[in-house]
Amino acid sequence: MNRTGCARLLLTCFSVTAAWAQHPLGTQPPDFTCDTTLPGSWGDDWTLSDHRGKVVMLNFGATW
């Protein structure tokens, strides 16, 4: 098999794999959201849904 034939075979394999792996149209994706209430810095409750549409940075750290 020459170089062009190899390239065509790889392109075909990648195209078939990509087409097969796509999410089916018309189905709803699963909902992975969770609305957790966290204690705020000043004693109030903090929920992520209160900040919908805003940029929020969550920093999860650990001290080992």
Confidence bin at 60 (pLDDT 50/70/90): confident
Averaged over 52-63, what is the pLDDT?
A: 85
**Does residue 7 form part of some domain?**
no
Confidence bin at 58 (pLDDT 50/70/90): confident
Domain count, the chain: 1
For the chain, what is the HEC assignment?
CCHHHHHHHHHHHHHHHHHHHCCCCCCCCCCCCCCCEEECCCCCEEEHHHHCCCCCCCCCCCCC
Question: For residue 23, what pLDDT is reported?
Answer: 64
**Does residue 18 form part of some domain?**
no
- Domain limits for position 56: 36-64
pLDDT digits (tens, 9 = 90+) for 12-29: 888 877 776 666 677 777
**Does residue 40 form part of some domain?**
yes
